[in-house]
Structure 1
């Protein structure tokens, strides 16, 4: 899908039938990528890189002075898990901006602002990069809340439900760590390029994106460590809880076995002492209760039940 936008008289983005100021390419096929690449005269792989979910982040400038910055951003996969995917951001020599990606993102911020006609390209590039970076923080916040719920839920857990959620979060964080690390390297190269081109003002804005990305990287590493510790704690708690359950069941089986032994003896089809005593049933029941109570008290004092 290709959507085109241009700056209106009110200096905001509006739909257009032509590829002018901003072209938004979502989940494209090779034909659509070829159409956009041919129109703006930049290499096919500038946008074609997003067809590979594992494409490495990079920054390139071609012979026509078209610039590409390809970075990774987080989104839900088809399996419902949070993974990272590439997006291509191209600003052409004739002041156009092209964004191509395979998963929708919240682009409302791009259309809710007024642009400077002379620097709209810089403003668009910054807003897109900042929004994509902020998406990491949104998912990290969600992971943090899920981890806190897991910490509360595992205290009395003997099931594997929590560890399945931990594995899903940990897998996403591993994707984040690798993607953000690559993004940071590319953004540094981009900042260096801008300073060489005397774009210090724009470089300072992109540095803000770098700071946000670096914060996300730090939090990702912290959450990974916390999650690893939580998984170890979970294993210990589950093992301890199972030991407690088995201890209680073993003690209960031992205590309940006493009435079974006594009942078995007095249930034998042979002559037994006091068998003609009319209160013998109640005497046997009282004796069983007394013995069970005494044994239960002894087991409790020894912390065995």
Structure 2
């Protein structure tokens, strides 16, 4: 899908029926024909339009001298649609490309995304291409913070349930959060490298207000990285603590079963011994013989219990 926007003289951002100068072309999962059309009209390298559609593409910035165009690729957080039971955010496979030229700005993404929708709501001037790109980058970095807050709320909710009972579903949910945090950290660090390069690049002219906005983007990304690392450490601590708790409960269960087995085995040994054609105490025909047998078994049980208690096992 391809949509052209342009800011009118009264400052409002509106849709245009055709390509114009100083316009914004938003391409969402474009077809091959749309890519070729935009590439020919604005003289954009075809790979600049195709690379952001590659799900394995990493965040970077690239400049083409022949066409005087700059490509900025950033990763943005999006919900994993394959997980219906839990809000999981996958960032690496969803890059967004921003292409800046002399009299145009083009955004390319494999799916609809909220960073561009938020930029449209801000009514950004399409003739200020560099400011437009920075607004998109700021929207992306802000979304990371918002999504991290959602993940932390999910973690707190799961942690409260873990205190009552531990189930496999809760463990899988924690694994989803941990996986999402890993994706967040990788993508945020890659985006941070892009922002650092923007401060040094000469292909994009930045005014004083643009530099301030770019600094805001860097602050947001650094905050996202620090928050992600903090949440990752907290999650590692939680999983480690509950792993130790599960192991301790299992040890207690095995110890209890072992003690019961010992107590049940000793009388069985005594009764089995005298049941193998062995003469009972005080003679086989003495009515008190079976009582003495019980007393022998009871003495062994008491002796084992005192031994275990002395060793602080029971």
Fold-level match, TM-score > 0.5?
yes
State the partner residue of 1:232: 240
Gaps of 5+ in 1: 258-298
Moved more, 24-33 or 67-76: 24-33
Given that residues 5 and 16 in structure 2 are in contact (C-alpha distance below 8 angstroms), is that contact kept between their aligned partners in structure 1? Answer: yes
SS at match of 2:76: strand
Question: 1:25, CA displacement in angstroms?
Answer: 0.9
Deviations 1:263-288 (A, max 9, x none): xxxxxxxxxxxxxxxxxxxxxxxxxx
Quote how far apart the aligned CAs of 1:246 are: 5.0
Name the structure 1 match of 2:122.
Answer: 113
- Mapped to 2, the partners of 1:7 and 1:118 lie a distance apart of 7
Mapping for residues 39-118 of structure 1, pairs under 5 Å: 39-62=41-64, 63-80=66-83, 81=88, 82-84=90-92, 85-94=94-103, 96-106=104-114, 107-115=116-124
Cα deviations by residue, 1:170-228 (Å, 9 ceiling, x for unpaired): 11211111111111111111122269846333122112111101110111111222222
Residues 98, 105 of structure 2: 8 Å contact kept:
yes
Alignment partner of 2:77: what SS? Answer: strand
CA distance in 2, matches of 1:150, 1:303: 36
C-alpha distance in 1, partners of 2:47/2:171?
40
Q: Does 1:217 align with 2:225?
A: yes
Deviation at 1:149, TM superposition (A): 2.3
Q: What is the correspondence of 1:119-158 to structure 2 with a 5 Å cutoff?
A: 119=128, 121-158=129-166
1:22–1:98 CA contact under 8 A, matched in 2: yes
Whole-angstrom CA distance in 2 between matches of 1:162 and 1:16? 49
Distance 1:177 1:28, change over 3 A: same
Pick one of 156, 174, 178 that aligns with 1:166.
Answer: 174
How far the C-alpha of 1:245 sits from its partner, in A, is 4.7
Give the 3 Å change call, closer, same or farther, for CA 198–220 of structure 1 in structure 2: closer
> TM-score when scaled to structure 2?
0.74
Q: Which runs of 5+ in 2 are unaligned?
A: 266-307
> What displacement does 1:65 show?
2.0
Determine if contact 2:151/2:177 at 8 Å carries over to the other structure. yes
Q: TM-score of the superposition, structure 1-length normalised? A: 0.76
